[in-house]
């Protein structure tokens, strides 16, 4: 994956990375994220056009702050970021990666400049999200190969 300058803004802030994939690959990524859901003990939360990345005590960015707790979830998890897909005019999907590291800014009042800056995450957060995406992408490719091998 090659890093590109991102121009897209969202309520979560500017994306830090973009990659283009085929519709079949995006569907495969979403499907696997549903199967590897955080409610089943994994670290993904697939949505209609996005995949959210959650970390846990044993799988988190190197400099993650504090203790990760369950809260209202089944497993201890903290939200790190997401990837959202937009269909391009050429029929492919451009994926936009964003960080929303709420745990980093919890000590500051909501809406404060310090909190907003911290919630944009660190380079470790960005590396972790991209690594989780690569793991999911490899899983999709392996599943696709296995399906072809057994048909």
For 44-86, the pLDDT digits (tens) are 999 888 999 999 999 999 999 989 999 999 999 999 999 999 9
From residue 138, alpha-carbon distances to 5, 127, 131, 133 in Å are 24, 16, 11, 9
DSSP lists the bridge partners of residue 86 as: 94
Domain boundaries, the chain: 17-149
Task: For residue range 108-143, list pLDDT tens digits in order.
Answer: 999 999 999 999 999 999 999 999 999 999 999 988
List of long-range contacts for 114-120, beta carbons under 8 Å, 24+ apart? 119/13, 120/13
Dihedral of CA atoms 141, 130, 9, 24 in degrees, nearest 10, equals: 0
User: 23-35 and 123-149 helices cross at what angle (nearest 10)?
Assistant: 100
Q: Is the pTM of this model over 0.85?
A: yes
Q: Find out whether 29 and 21 touch, Cβ atoms under 8 Å.
A: yes
CA 58-108-110 angle, 5° bins: 100
Which spans in the chain are helix H? Answer: 23-35, 113-119, 123-149
Strands 50-55 and 44-46: antiparallel
Cα within 13 Å of Cα(9), Cβ side: 1
The reported pLDDT for the residue numbered 114 is: 95
How many H-runs (helices) and E-runs (strands) does the chain carry?
Answer: 3, 5
For residue 13, pLDDT beyond 90 = no
């Amino acid at each position: 994956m090659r890093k590109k300058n991102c121009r897209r803004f969202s309520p979560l802030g500017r994306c830090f990375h973009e990659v283009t994939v085929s519709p079949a690959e995006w569907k495969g990524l979403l499907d696997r994220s549903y199967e590897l859901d955080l409610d089943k003990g994994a670290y993904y939360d697939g949505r209609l056009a996005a995949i959210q990345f959650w970390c846990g005590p044993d799988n988190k960015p190197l400099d993650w702050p504090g203790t990760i707790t369950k809260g209202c979830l089944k497993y201890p998890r903290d939200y790190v970021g997401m990837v959202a897909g937009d269909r391009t005019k050429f029929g492919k999907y451009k994926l936009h990666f964003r960080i929303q590291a709420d745990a980093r800014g919890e000590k500051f009042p909501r809406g404060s400049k310090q909190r907003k800056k911290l919630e944009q995450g660190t380079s470790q957060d960005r590396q972790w999200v991209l690594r989780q995406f690569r793991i999911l992408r490899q899983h999709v490719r392996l599943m696709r190969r296995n399906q072809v091998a057994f048909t």
